[in-house]
Amino acid sequence: MQDLLTIGGKTYRSRLLIGTGKYRDFAQTRAAVEASGAEIVTVAIRRTNIGQNRNEPSLLEALPPSRFTYLPNTAGCYTAADAVRTLRLARELLDGHDLVKLEVLGDPHTLYPNMPETLKATEELVKDGFKVMVYCSDDPIQAQMLEAAGCVAIMPLASLIGSGMGILNPWNLQLIIEKVKLPVIVDAGVGTASDATIAMELGCDGVLMNTAVAAARDPVLMAKAMKKGVEAGREAFLAGRMPKKLYSASPSSPTEGKIAPKAA
């Protein structure tokens, strides 16, 4: 049986979502996305450079929206109003595409989410017909509020955006996974493949990352490693790990049939 991820009524084979920022060029972006196996890619919405874009390559050409599911974000937005405005532009730009990543930031130093504004924006976007995947704090109560507001995925940070600090609070992530029925996708903080594995072993439904791949010495190789990390963690979660036993060591080999100890 195939193990599929369902978000907003659509299914995906890959549980790794990739951001498209910070790469050397679009060719490297494309190569890393291909190596990661990701089907969902995040993009930002920005003013076009007037007068400098006649032959400027476009991200939409490098990553055709016919092949990848675009997830426009609201990076850089600090209010619900700015975020909603940005995603309305994104929907117009992408021909009515309604799956979006909401992030309303609290301050430029930590990029920690502003949850009251995030919740407000979620409500407004849901009312306007968007399918909203929400970057949020790893607070299980806030996660339940977002679920009640009608978003399609909860995306708690594992540590600060771009920090590469890994999974700092696995207990909170587990609480969220237990408390909400929606897909839980770790968004932000993953630094290397084992971090992605840990997130998946905890029972997360997916992992979204950008800097961990783009800022690796070899982004394409790291993308490949992340694919394996996510898959390994998912399979380990489905397999169900053995319980941890501090003081009752149990040998893996039979205790019977050992040859006789040599006579002293």
Partner 1 sequence: MHNSPVIRITVNGKAHSLEPPIDVSALLASLELAGKKVAVERNGEIVPRSAHANTLLADGDALEVVIAVGGG
> Interface with partner 1 by CB under 8 A: which residues?
19-23, 26, 29, 42-48, 50-51, 53-54, 58-60, 70, 72-73, 75, 85, 88-90, 92-94, 161-162, 188, 208-211
CB 5 within 8 A of CB 206: yes
Query: Which residues contact residue 259 at a Cβ distance below 8 angstroms, ignoring those fewer than 6 apart?
Result: none
**Which is nearer to partner 1, 75 or 149 (by Cβ)?**
75
**Beta bridge mates, 100:** 132
Q: Is residue 127 flagged as an active site residue?
A: no
Least Å distance, CB 151 to partner 1, is 19
Gap between the Cα atoms of 199 and 180, Å rounded: 16
For partner 1, which is the closer residue by CB, 36 or 73? 73
Quote the least distance from Cβ 161 to partner 1, whole Å: 7
Q: Which is nearer to partner 1, 10 or 88 (CB)?
A: 88
Among residues 10, 101, 181, 224, the one annotated as catalytic is 101
Whether 124 and 84 have beta carbons less than 8 Å apart is answered as yes
Kindly state the smallest distance separating residue 221's Cβ from partner 1, in Å: 19
- Which residues have C-beta within 8 Å of that of residue 148, sequence separation ≥ 6? none
- The strand pair at 206-209 and 185-187 is best described as parallel
CA distance 42 to 207: 12
- Least Å distance, CB 208 to partner 1, is 8
CB of 178 to partner 1, least distance (A): 27
Asked whether 226 and 194 are in contact (CB, 8 A), the reply is no
Which residues sit opposite 136 in a β-bridge? Answer: 156
The residue whose two tokens read 């930031």 is 105
| Cα atoms found within 13 Å of the Cα of residue 257, Cβ hemisphere only | 2
Q: What are the strands of the beta sheet with 185-187, ordered from one edge?
A: 16-19, 206-209, 185-187
Closest approach, Cβ 41 to partner 1, in A, equals: 9
| CB half-sphere exposure, 223, CA atoms < 13 A | 24
Main-chain phi, psi angles of 103, to 5 degrees: -140, 120
User: Dmax of the chain from CA atoms?
Assistant: 92
Residues carrying an active site annotation: 101
